[in-house]
Structure formats: structure tokens, C-alpha cells
């Protein structure tokens, strides 16, 4: 049930992201990026620019044998000294599920039931566009605070994301 709820949430968020009008980037093309995340978790990412400097990103990833989805708003700023490099800040929310008997979240000794977590996220990162390509590489740190009593702060979420823009 909770897995289908998470899948429904992710599908709805992707529909919202693709319904938002695309922003015309400075290079003259539209920016929607799809990528693979690897770090403290593994998963995927869809990022869509809504203006030249702001984007909406949906991340779906696996961690501690459970699934999480995060929807974030990000504001991008150029680093003038490095061509193709930007840094970004943002925030949003997340929802995660861990299904028993595979559940191994760090706040329990042994998974005996299904667990959920939801809360707010902050993100800070660097993104590099390989010159004259549609390939991007980013590194971000995404601490999160959960509203569920037993999880509180997740400060260690960091990942590299390899993206393709179309």
C-alpha cells in the first residue's frame, strides 16, 4: 500500500513538473534534465527549469532498504570564474517508506513493521556543464528534518548526479 502511495506521489510530481512551462535557457534551448544519483543513496532525478535561474527537481532514491521521494525548488547562480559551473541552494519536502521484513532504517535494531518518514529538505550544491554538451555533473548535500519522532535530522545525504539535458 505505502509503496503504491510513494509511486503515485512520484508520478503526480513528475506530471506537475512536466506541466510547468519550460524556461528558455541562455543558450537558447529548453532545459529538462534526467539523471542518475549515486552517493549515500542510489536513485534518479528529474530537474526542470521554470525560469533561467530557478528549477524544480524530483528525486527518487533508495536508502536503508527503503524508498524516498523529494520534491525541491532550487535557485541557481553562476560562478563567473569557472565557465559552465553554477552553485545552487533550495529546499522542499520528502516522503519515504520502508517495508517489513526488508526494512533496516538506522533508528531501529530490527525491522518488525513498516515505517514512514516525511519532512522538509535543504539542498546546496555545485553543477558543472561540460562545454558544448548536454551533459551535467553535480554534487549536492541534502540534509533533511523529519517530522516523525524517531528519525529527526538526516544530515548525511550527499550525492553526485550525472544528468542529460534535452
144 close to 100: Cβ distance less than 8 angstroms: no
What is the chain's alpha carbon radius of gyration, rounded to the nearest angstrom?
16
Query: What ranges do the domains of the chain cover?
Result: 2-19+31-165
118 close to 92: Cβ distance less than 8 angstroms: no
Report which of residues 30 and 93 the model is more confident about: 93
Q: Which residue has the cell 548526479?
A: 161
- 101-152 pLDDT, tens digit each: 666 666 666 656 778 889 999 999 999 999 878 999 999 999 999 888 666 8
Tell me what pLDDT residue 21 has.
Answer: 47
Percent over 70 (pLDDT), the chain: 73
The closest of 136, 126, 24 to 74, measured between CA atoms, is 126
Tell me what pLDDT residue 116 has.
Answer: 85
pTM: 0.78
pLDDT > 60? residue 28: no
- Three-class SS state of 151: coil
Q: What is the dotted CATH code of the domain comprising 2-19+31-165?
A: 2.40.160.20
Amino acid at each position: 500500500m505505502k509503496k503504491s502511495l510513494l509511486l503515485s506521489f512520484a508520478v503526480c510530481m513528475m506530471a506537475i513538473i512536466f506541466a510547468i512551462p519550460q524556461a528558455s535557457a541562455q543558450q537558447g534551448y529548453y532545459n529538462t534534465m534526467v539523471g542518475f544519483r549515486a552517493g549515500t543513496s542510489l536513485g534518479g532525478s528529474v530537474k526542470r527549469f521554470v525560469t533561467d535561474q530557478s528549477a524544480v527537481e524530483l528525486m527518487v532514491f533508495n536508502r536503508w532498504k527503503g524508498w524516498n521521494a523529494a520534491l525541491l525548488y532550487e535557485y541557481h547562480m553562476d560562478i563567473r570564474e569557472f565557465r559552465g559551473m553554477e552553485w545552487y541552494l533550495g529546499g522542499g519536502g520528502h516522503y519515504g517508506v520502508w517495508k517489513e521484513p526488508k526494512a533496516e532504517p538506522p533508528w531501529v535494531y530490527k525491522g518488525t513493521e513498516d515505517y514512514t518518514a516525511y519532512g522538509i529538505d535543504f539542498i546546496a550544491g555545485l553543477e558543472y556543464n561540460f562545454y558544448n554538451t548536454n551533459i551535467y555533473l553535480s554534487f549536492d548535500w541534502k540534509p533533511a528534518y523529519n517530522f516523525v519522532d524517531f528519525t529527526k535530522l538526516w544530515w548525511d545525504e550527499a550525492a553526485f548526479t550525472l544528468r542529460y539535458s534535452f
